[in-house]
Amino acid sequence: MSVLALAGGVGGARLAAGLARALPPGDLAVAVNTGDDFEHLGLSISPDIDTVVYTLAGLNNPELGWGLASETWAFMAALERLGGETWFRLGDRDLATHVERTRRLAAGETLSAITADFAARLDIAQRIVPMSDDPVRTIVETDEGALAFQDYFVRRQCAPVFRGLRFDGADGARPSAGFAEALADPALEAIVICPSNPLLSLGPILAVPEVRAALAARRVPCIAVSPFIGGQAVKGPAGKIMAELGRDATPAGLLALYDGLVDGLVIDGADAGARADVPLHVTDTLMRGPDDQTRLAREALAFAAGLAR
């Protein structure tokens, strides 16, 4: 039995952690968005990979959602004194990840190999795979022009009006070997799209041609857990972005984005009675802590099993 989860940052990582607790370790693979990756201060940074790895290792910073728990910020303070860029906060412990990843990428290793090694060293038994080992960069088109993802998301705090998205490199990108294997696994029984931002975090994953094709040709149920509750995103700018795109942060709006790739949708009680052209599982989708994450994961897996043809 194997389950493939597609995840972006914080919201996706939380459900991935719930799935990790709900399944035997070897049964879960998590394919993670790399469209948010960027070069910063000379470092190769993969925020969503790190958020998923730290969360599955139980090391994530619960307040921030990203970075490491019990973090210190001496590096940031020293960088500030030197006039360096401190808008993207890099904690002292987190810094080791970026420095070592940068060194190993420069030595010719793939992001997949580095990620698998970091996860193993953090005693993570699940497979965490980048969506691709080829560079894909999310570019946000706004009323102020095109912005690299982290510029838009962190430096500008999503203030510019969202006009559209580009995923530079996606057309020529291949799924990572681990992702392709998980998609083709004969033991695959369900695909779970985690409650990450459908545009910013799932968009890049679905923009990789072979990924969208594999999902369109799927022979197992693919279910999504909505990141929206009552028309608003639980965390982050998804609600604002959907509104600026003229789309609804509703089950129907979400399904329109996933465009036939989803066989069932898990939504919150606040959206009960919503119109949708696929089966709905209505429950409490707010993950307040690990127990909620595990409960929601179990419900999502049972829902997918019920949809199996």
Task: Say which amino acid occupies 306.
Answer: G
* 66 touching ligand FO1, by CB under 6 A: yes
What is the distance between the alpha carbons of residues 54 and 255, in angstroms, rounded to a whole number? 30
- Binding span for ligand FO1 by CB under 6 A among 47-55, 158-166, 182-190, 243-251: 47-55
What is the distance between the alpha carbons of residues 45 and 68, in angstroms, rounded to a whole number? 15
According to DSSP, the residues that pair with 193 across neighbouring strands are 6, 224
**Least Å from the CB of residue 159 to ligand FO1:** 13
- Binding span for ligand FO1 by CB under 6 A among 15-23, 125-133, 149-157, 280-288: 149-157
* 37 touching ligand FO1, by CB under 6 A: no
* 153 touching ligand FO1, by CB under 6 A: yes
C-alpha Rg value of the chain to the nearest Å? 18
**Torsions phi, psi for 92 (to 5 deg):** -60, -40
C-alpha to C-alpha distances, 156 to 80, 124, 142, 144, 149, nearest whole angstrom? 19, 34, 11, 11, 10
* 264 touching ligand FO1, by CB under 6 A: no
User: CA 196, 262, 137, 248 torsion: positive or negative?
Assistant: negative
Residue closer to ligand FO1 by CB (options 50, 299) is: 50
Residue in this structure with the two tokens 């990789």, named with its chain if needed: 208
* 8 touching ligand FO1, by CB under 6 A: yes
Residue closer to ligand FO1 by CB (options 23, 119) is: 119
Residue closer to ligand FO1 by CB (options 10, 19) is: 10
Contact residues toward ligand FO1 (CB under 6 A) are 8-10, 36, 47-48, 50-51, 66-67, 88-90, 94, 150, 153-154, 201
